[in-house]
Amino acid sequence: MNFKNFIYFNCLLLLPTAAFSQGVAIKLHIRGVYESKITLLPLIGTNALKPIVERAGIKNGETTILSVSKDILPTEFVLRFDYKEKESSSPYPCEKHIFISNQNLELWVNPMYCNNNDSSYFQKDEKENTVFARFTKENGKQKEKLGLLQNFLMNYDDTQSQFYKQGTEEYQKRRNNYNHWLKEQATLHKAMFVSHTFGFQYLPQIVFNGSETARQQSVIAHYFDGIDFKDTLLLHTNDLKNFITAYVNIYASLAKTQADLDSLYPLIGKTAIEKARLGNPKLYGWMVDYFYNGYESTNMPAGIKMLEPYINDTACLTTKRQAIEKRLKGIKTLTIGTLAPDFMLKDDAGNDVLFSKYKSVRHCEGGTARPEFISGTEAISAKYKLLLFWSADCSHCKELVGKLYTWYNQQPVNTPNGASYPLVEVFALSLDESETEIPIWQNAITQLPGWKHIRCEGGINSPEANAYLYSQLL
Amino acid sequence: MFLIDNKTNKICAIPENTDKLKQYLDEISKK
């Protein structure tokens, strides 16, 4: 063997080790079905719920290996099987949640029963998923009785009775025991990633000697008692988002009216962010991102205004600083009574026209959605223009547009001089720009006749979005 | 959403949803 061949030979030997050091391998043995497609989707991060690895046509008895880059580890994944029981069968899905940390995994799977431990199981020395499964089973047993007792006490009407007092004492005793067990489990398995999810199960203190609202408020006040906001591995858990969403829902349940709710949402965000602010800057930033996304998706300027001091805090590692700044500028400058920013669009004849000068041309004949708006063929102006930014690929936008369109078709019609046209003309500005989004938008607007549809080239960075200081759609 | 008066080209409401748009238009029609 000459020197050149020696290097080549050694490189071949090193390849599996090099590939191995790049991440984690999951060896899958498929059985019990004709064939299966296998997809791995992370539950968090920028690729959340998007396939990062796919293998198609893995037959009964075959083995395949999925590699996962260590950059995104540790975290929780969905391992999805689209299996055909027989060659002629249609694919049917089965999803299994798995944790991947730093250990290579080997999994024997019958995709028809991918969550049945007798049919689908890991190698004997597997750690994360085995510990999590044992913890989940024991935790369920321990929490079941506590949950029943808590529900009973939270809704009991005679809070002055001896019986109620005994019940609350029993609950506090069991709660302390449970939280002690939880802490023991976290310490015992502290080397495991899954142990960082245990804190989400912590049972906070409840002050029982008060009204039902007071009890709810005490749950809210102690909600984060079991969470260590210095622990950055919480950012790798899927539970963090669910935990905060549950907090928002519990807090929001205090509202009696829509006005209560509108004023509560910024307060909910502020309370949660203040807790995270005392922890790691990444968690602090994550919390700001979470509430910004929520306020933006529900179009809540008061919530976005609440975020202002946090984006001015350099300790806050938010990824949304620029977007929030842009929105805050929009909130401050685009106020009621100011001139609507102008932009160019095409009129019905295809000519460039300023938005401020735009007039619709309505035709007598033809299948327009609102023939009652028609008065010959002439340029008309509604009393108001409604400008709406949206994406046909955004669930919140679709909900908003659906309700708006229903109202649009029922709105009163102005009829000065015998001509009829809508009170409000809708300009729906689409920020869709990707190859997958544009066809969805093209299809969606066929269901929304009567509106003026404009697709903004450049999406969120388009001249139209910039003019109106729009920064994000969800 | 921005509701713009077509005559003055000024923003007259920034409704967060359809209900708030309706509410604004109802109020303005009563004036």
- Distance to chain A for B31, nearest Cα, Å: 15
Q: State chain A's maximal CA–CA distance in angstroms.
A: 98
Three-state DSSP class for residue A326: helix
Pair A107, A122: CB distance under 8 Å: yes
- Indicate yes or no: CB of B2 within 8 angstroms of CB of A400: no
Please report, for chain B, how many H helices and E strands are present, in that order: 1, 2
Of A298, A300, A385, the CB nearest to B6: A385
Report how far residue A129's alpha carbon sits from residue A195's, in angstroms, rounded to the nearest whole number: 11
The rounded radius of gyration (Å) of the Cα atoms in chain A is 29
Return phi, psi of residue A86, to 5°. -125, 170
* Interface residues on A facing B, Cβ-Cβ cutoff 8 A: 298-301, 334-340, 356, 381-388, 400, 403-404, 406-407, 411, 423-425, 468
**Is residue A474 within 8 Å of A332, Cβ to Cβ?**
no
- Confidence (pLDDT) at A415: 55
**Is residue A107 helix, strand or coil?**
strand
Q: Which two tokens stand for residue A334?
A: 């685009």
Q: Which residues contact A160 (CB under 8 A, 6 or more apart)?
A: none
Spatial contact of A441 and A391, defined as CB atoms under 8 Å apart: yes
Amino acid (one-letter) located at A470: Y
> Is residue A425 within 8 Å of residue A448, measured between CB atoms?
no
Helix pair angle (A281-297, A321-333), 10° resolution: 40
A-B C-beta contacts closer than 8 Å:
71
pLDDT of residue A239: 95
- Å between A340 CA and nearest CA of chain B: 5
Residue with tokens 């940390």: A101
Is B28 within 8 Å of chain A by CB? no
Q: Which pLDDT belongs to residue A393?
A: 84
Going A346 to A351 to A354 to A355, the CA torsion angle's sign is negative
In this structure, are residues A335 and A469 in contact, taking their beta carbons and an 8 Å threshold? Answer: no
Chain A positions in Cβ-Cβ contact with residue B7 (cut-off 8 Å): 383
Parts of chain A with a pLDDT under 50 = 1-20, 363-376, 474
Q: What is the pLDDT of residue A362?
A: 56
Direct distance between the N- and C-terminal alpha carbons of chain B, in angstroms, rounded to an integer: 22
Q: Which residue of B has its CA nearest to A385?
A: B4
pLDDT at A136: 96
Going by C-alpha positions, the residue among A463, A406, A396, A399 that lies closest to residue A429 is: A463
